[in-house]
Every structure is written in structure tokens, then in C-alpha cells.
Amino acid sequence: DARVTQTPRHKVTEMGQEVTMRCQPILGHNTVFWYRQTMMQGLELLAYFRNRAPLDDSGMPKDRFSAEMPDATLATLKIQPSEPRDSAVYFCASGSDRVRNTEAFFGQGTRLTVV
Amino acid sequence: AQTVTQSQPEMSVQEAETVTLSCTYDTSESDYYLFWYKQPPSRQMILVIRQEAYKQQNATENRFSVNFQKAAKSFSLKISDSQLGDAAMYFCAYRRGRVGSQGNLIFGKGTKLSVKP
């Protein structure tokens, strides 16, 4: 059963600490997305990778956020230092744009609370 | 830039009745897909239905169907015979269709659907 796996599911951390969220995309998928979901802003795109190369990270605060794909099986989103306003649910999604089936599959999200 | 608008923050329907959720979008592209995603309290994003812009026929998936009006850039979701398990947030989303340059999903703000027993 192919699925996108995100870890951790929940994270509570103190302001100023580093937070790393991980995502394992579905094998064979070549696009990976990081979204942030908040009540106020809804689902916002933070980063978009294609064939492991970052194509769009314009939605990501550059001073504290970073996203990488060290290999095809792992994507990471890091916040350093974390702030209370970063509290949100962070979703990873993967898909394939090599064919016309453009569905994106989502992980279960990481609920981040920064106190 | 493409945008997706859901004008109904909340909707309510009686169990077994029919409800329609609205979505409008704006794009200059001719090749694109439209989606409805469901997010129950578990927060898992679940694809409900997909529509390809070049297909005139409205997509259907069991109790879920869409009314796709390409000229009006409208994409509404109809849920028939509503069930308690349909209660969730529903997101309308857009994505370019061209192979190799589809980019990310662009979401509306969502509609919270409540189902009354």
C-alpha cells in the first residue's frame, strides 16, 4: 500500500529550538511538496521539488526555514529557530508529473506546536 | 497567477439529503485539472474527485459528482445521499495539466461541511 510517510506526527517544542520534519515520498514519484495549514491562511505552499531539485520555495520564510531532498526517498523541512507563529500542521505530498495522472498524495501531516 | 475561491466557509446538510459546494477559479491556462479533496478530523487529505479541463463530461464518483462550467470557471461539488461520514473540510484545488510542468496544487480556503442526523 503506497503512501507518503511523515514523521513525527506531533511535535511540541520551545521557542528558539530547531525543528526537523521528515517525509518519505511514494517510490517512483518525482515531485514533492511541502504545505503549511493554518486556520487563518489555509493551505500554503512552502516548497516544491521536482526530480529532487527545488523549483519553488517562494512561500517559505528564508531566514528560518529550509527544505532539502538529500535523496529520492527523503525530503526534510527544517525550522531554525522556531517561533510560536510557526505552530501549524505541515503536510508533505508527492506525485508524478511524467504522466497526465496529476493526483498528489498527502502524508498525514506533522502538527507542530511552538510554545 | 492562478487562484481558487470557495465562497462558503461553512455548509450544513441533513443526512440523506443533497448538498452542493461551490468553487470558482481563475487561470489563463487551457490544460489543467481540478480536484476536490476531503479533510476529516483525522486531517488526512483524501482525493474525492478529479476533473480534466479538456473533458466536457462531468466527473462522478459514486455519490459525488461535479458541475464543471469551463467558460464560467466554476467547479461545484454535489454530494448526494449525504452520510455522517461526509462531515469534513472540503478543499477545491487546481493544477496545471501539461506533463513536466504541472507545478503545485493551488487550494481554496475550504468549506466546512456538517451533516445533521
Model pLDDT for residues B99-108, shown as the tens digit of each residue: 777 778 899 9
Instruction: Please count the residues of chain B.
Output: 117
Q: How confident is the model at residue A100 (pLDDT cuts 50, 70, 90)?
A: confident
The whole-angstrom separation of Cα B44 and Cα A6 is 12
Q: Dihedral through CA B36, CA A61, CA A88, CA B103, nearest 10?
A: 20
Model pLDDT for residues B67-108, shown as the tens digit of each residue: 999 999 999 999 999 999 999 999 999 998 877 777 788 999
**Mean residue pLDDT across chain B:** 94
CB contacts under 8 A, A 88-107 vs B, are: 89, 91, 93, 95, 97-100, 102-104, 106
Mutate to test the interface with B, among A40, A46, A57, A100 (most CBs of B within 10 A): A100
Cell of B19: 448538498
> Is the pLDDT confidence value at A101 over 80?
no
> Is the pLDDT confidence value at A102 over 70?
no
The whole-angstrom separation of Cα A27 and Cα A8 is 20
The whole-angstrom separation of Cα B103 and Cα B117 is 40
Q: Using the beta-carbon criterion (under 8 Å), do A97 and B100 form an inter-chain contact?
A: yes
> Residue B96: what pLDDT?
85
- Among A110-114, B7-11, B20-24, B55-59, which is the least confidently predicted range? B55-59
Residues of A in contact with B104 (CB under 8 A): 33, 45, 48, 56
| Ramachandran angles phi, psi of A84, nearest 5° | -55, -35
Contacts of A40 (CB under 8 A, 6+ apart): none
The whole-angstrom separation of Cα A25 and Cα A31 is 9
Mutate to test the interface with A, among B3, B102, B111, B112 (most CBs of A within 10 A): B102
Contacts of A60 (CB under 8 A, 6+ apart): A34, A46, A47, A66, A67
**Mean residue pLDDT across chain A:** 93
Mutate to test the interface with A, among B32, B55, B90, B104 (most CBs of A within 10 A): B104
Model pLDDT for residues A69-89, shown as the tens digit of each residue: 999 999 999 999 999 999 999
Q: How confident is the model at residue A1 (pLDDT cuts 50, 70, 90)?
A: low
The whole-angstrom separation of Cα A37 and Cα A27 is 25
The whole-angstrom separation of Cα B11 and Cα B92 is 15
> Residue B1: what pLDDT?
79
List the one residue out of A79, A75, A77 whose CA is nearest residue A24.
Answer: A75
Q: Residue range B43-67: average pLDDT?
A: 94
R_g over Cα of chain B: 14
A7, A108 in Cβ contact below 8 A?
A: no
Could you tell me which chain A residue has the CA closest to the CA of B109?
A42
CA atoms in the 13 A half-sphere facing the CB of B4: 27
| Ramachandran angles phi, psi of B21, nearest 5° | -105, 135
Q: How confident is the model at residue A112 (pLDDT cuts 50, 70, 90)?
A: very high
DSSP 3-state of B2: coil
CB contacts under 8 A, A 2-61 vs B, are: 31, 33, 42-43, 45, 48, 55-56
Cell of A47: 516548497
| Ramachandran angles phi, psi of B109, nearest 5° | -80, -15
DSSP 3-state of A67: strand
Q: Which of B42, B50, B102 sits opposite A97 (nearest CB)?
A: B102
> Residue B23: what pLDDT?
98
